[in-house]
Amino acid sequence: MLSLIYSCGLRRSELLNLKPIDIDSQRNIVIIRQSKGRKDRIAPLSSKILDMLREYYKIHKPKTWLFEGKTENTPYDERSLSNVLKQALTKCKITKPVSLHWLRHSYATHLLESGTDLRYIQELLGHSSSKTTEIYTHVSTKNLQKIKSPFDDL
């Protein structure tokens, strides 16, 4: 679940509302239906995530929801998902405060750092305003260090 949030830039509610049919393995996309603002969108599906989902599917055989709750026909619980993140952080000995939304933020930041155009990131995240997406344009020291001074060409 955490890997899928990060690999597609999903909101918590978007992950929990996914159905098995929303995973389009033929086109390598995830269909995110009726997200924030009642809009549908798609996100690219990583081949690594697709492999993980296939393994998950073999074991759990979800019917209604991709990630099902304890009670039949209910989605996985939000609090349980937060607990999954807490357990993962504990296992990895990460003490820095991390939230599920931080994974979405990291997705956008890493796309931006790898050269993805901000307009594409806006579309992938489902932002109606570019102003919302611009919060991810904070400058990273790593990228600043790569900039060549024009003086070097004199």
**Residue positions annotated with a catalytic role:** 11, 36, 101, 104, 127, 136
The amino acid occupying position 103 is L
Q: Could you tell me if 84 and 1 are in contact, meaning their C-beta atoms sit under 8 angstroms apart? A: yes
Q: Distances from the Cα of 35 to the Cαs of 39, 48, 54, in angstroms?
A: 5, 24, 24
Residue 93 CA, chain-centre distance (Å), reads 22
